[in-house]
Structure 1
């Protein structure tokens, strides 16, 4: 040891750095902060470089680096920048996990979920983006299986696949709740059969097309609903005449009723509403009550 160099015992080093003696001794034992020498009594002695190394080790440890990585940095086998880049990616993944866990817990608390529901939510939420999308793709494949190439229904299938069904990195509780409901919905066999029924009906090339103007229906029937007009009343008949030609034969009206019933389903509409919530889009009002009112008015109107 050079004369004139200031040396410190482990106790002095601990007081100088604020680190526990046992921590410094452990780091010294594994070679992260080796002693500069020993006293005549055999005690470890450390120099000013040890103080600097301890400060660096403490900083790296507070940043979350393991001692094996710290040793690599101190031995110049890797750089702090390289290690930091790796840790940023790891921390990003951890942050996404924590945010998702927080959102799931908020949903569990809001819904008053049972243990089984909480486990299901946690399991579904932990699926990868690819796995979550696969759930939707499998549902679409089942619903549209066997549809003829070039059929209009295949365009709907493509749209259903293109709409993002994945949760954002920082999901709000309502987005987690929407994803859980969506996963339960597409797994429901009754819902699958209902969508399949609509797909098959939509693919019938000889099905007559309706002259129904949906924009007009939403405008006039929507206003009737707001005003509380009954579909079987005189006012209701007047509203109906604005969207369906008054002279439409009874058979055509019945065909129109069947067509509207086939393509009006609150759960199918809910499917698109849930996807909207997951994608952060503003909610859209339900159109199902409008068409249910129209069905009732058509049946009440008879053939006249």
Structure 2
């Protein structure tokens, strides 16, 4: 027993609380369970309230708190409610990470991915929300670097940043696939160069003389029907369809310039980018317009 009836030795405190002596000694050295004094022989002594403090420290540690946070709670710099709320947020983040990893593994199981694909997916799954956001921000920054933010068309940059910071809490297989594909797409140097070309041309084109532009609705309607019906762009039937979209009086040089301008802004992979964003954000799907514009471009060039 201790020399003082109101105090406990570290061994007595250990027996009363069921916590090993070495653990109490470590907590004591860390300042969360400080001794109230020393015995004549220099051994640590604790008051009877230390047992309750030890029990609280054990509870907080089992909740996952580190010792500095435990000490802040015990010193009343933080309330238990503050800590609980912080841990709820941490647990939510951990649960989200686990759901993402489960979704990634499910994709691997469904598609029989290669070792390299699995490595890439694993890295993406481990990324924080900020790191995933940075992938898109870096792509947008490179694409629109030096372009006047007030230039017509520059608002596309903001639209291209709409990849969610994180996947939904319980992502669908389609969202996981879209997430993986989008990350790979924006990392492709060829795609980056193509997006940059379109951005620069869009800003530069506003300073050029106005040229006739076809109505997108007419392109989709007539060009899309031509694609569905298999009408060759160079055929006689295509000429009749073409004249429903553009002015029949355009001379060959004007048709060539129009075809080149449309080709600059027509790209299947860029459209795919927007489709993937739609999957991730839950936007309603939209019909592809690129095939109709590709048909129009070919029809114009066939007559220029």
How far apart, in 1, do the equivalents of 2:135 and 2:87 lie?
A: 32
How far apart, in 2, do the equivalents of 1:27 and 1:221 lie?
A: 81
Q: Report the counterpart of residue 53 of structure 2 in structure 1.
A: none
Residue 256 of structure 1, aligned match among 252, 255, 258: 258
Distance 1:110 1:285, change over 3 A: farther
How far apart, in 2, do the equivalents of 1:275 and 1:99 lie?
A: 20
Q: Report the counterpart of residue 234 of structure 2 in structure 1.
A: 232
Distance 1:214 1:187, change over 3 A: same
How far apart, in 2, do the equivalents of 1:246 and 1:147 lie?
A: 36
How far apart, in 2, do the equivalents of 1:114 and 1:257 lie?
A: 41
Q: Report the counterpart of residue 113 of structure 1 in structure 2.
A: 113
Q: Report the counterpart of residue 187 of structure 2 in structure 1.
A: 187
What count of residue pairs does the alignment treat as equivalent? 250
How far apart, in 1, do the equivalents of 2:126 and 2:112 lie?
A: 20
Distance 1:231 1:83, change over 3 A: same
Q: Report the counterpart of residue 154 of structure 1 in structure 2.
A: 154
Shift of 1:149: 5.0
Stretches of structure 1 lacking an aligned partner (at least 5 in a row): 1-24, 32-56
How far apart, in 1, do the equivalents of 2:198 and 2:65 lie?
A: 61
Q: Does 1:28 align with 2:30?
A: no
How far apart, in 2, do the equivalents of 1:124 and 1:181 lie?
A: 11
Q: Report the counterpart of residue 196 of structure 2 in structure 1.
A: 196
Q: Any conservation in 2 of the 1:147–1:153 contact (CA below 8 Å)?
A: no
Q: CA RMSD in A?
A: 3.4
Q: Report the counterpart of residue 167 of structure 2 in structure 1.
A: 168
Q: Any conservation in 2 of the 1:167–1:278 contact (CA below 8 Å)?
A: no
Distance 1:87 1:195, change over 3 A: closer
How far apart, in 2, do the equivalents of 1:80 and 1:244 lie?
A: 71
Q: Any conservation in 1 of the 2:136–2:163 contact (CA below 8 Å)?
A: no
Q: Report the counterpart of residue 220 of structure 1 in structure 2.
A: 222
Deviates more, 1:224-233 or 1:79-88: 79-88
Distance 1:261 1:83, change over 3 A: closer
Distance 1:30 1:86, change over 3 A: farther
How far apart, in 2, do the equivalents of 1:68 and 1:151 lie?
A: 51
Q: Deviations over 1:221-247 (max 9, x none)?
A: 112222332222333222111001111
Which TM-score applies when normalising by structure 1? 0.70
Stretches of structure 2 lacking an aligned partner (at least 5 in a row): 1-14, 22-55
Q: Report the counterpart of residue 34 of structure 2 in structure 1.
A: none
Q: Report the counterpart of residue 132 of structure 1 in structure 2.
A: 132
Residue 271 of structure 1, aligned match among 258, 273, 279: 273
Match of 1:248, SS? Answer: coil
How far apart, in 2, do the equivalents of 1:26 and 1:100 lie?
A: 44
Q: Any conservation in 1 of the 2:214–2:246 contact (CA below 8 Å)?
A: yes
Shift of 1:86: 4.8
Shift of 1:128: 1.8
Distance 1:292 1:144, change over 3 A: same
Which TM-score applies when normalising by structure 2? 0.70
Match of 1:151, SS? Answer: coil
Q: Report the counterpart of residue 5 of structure 2 in structure 1.
A: none
Q: Any conservation in 1 of the 2:266–2:293 contact (CA below 8 Å)?
A: yes
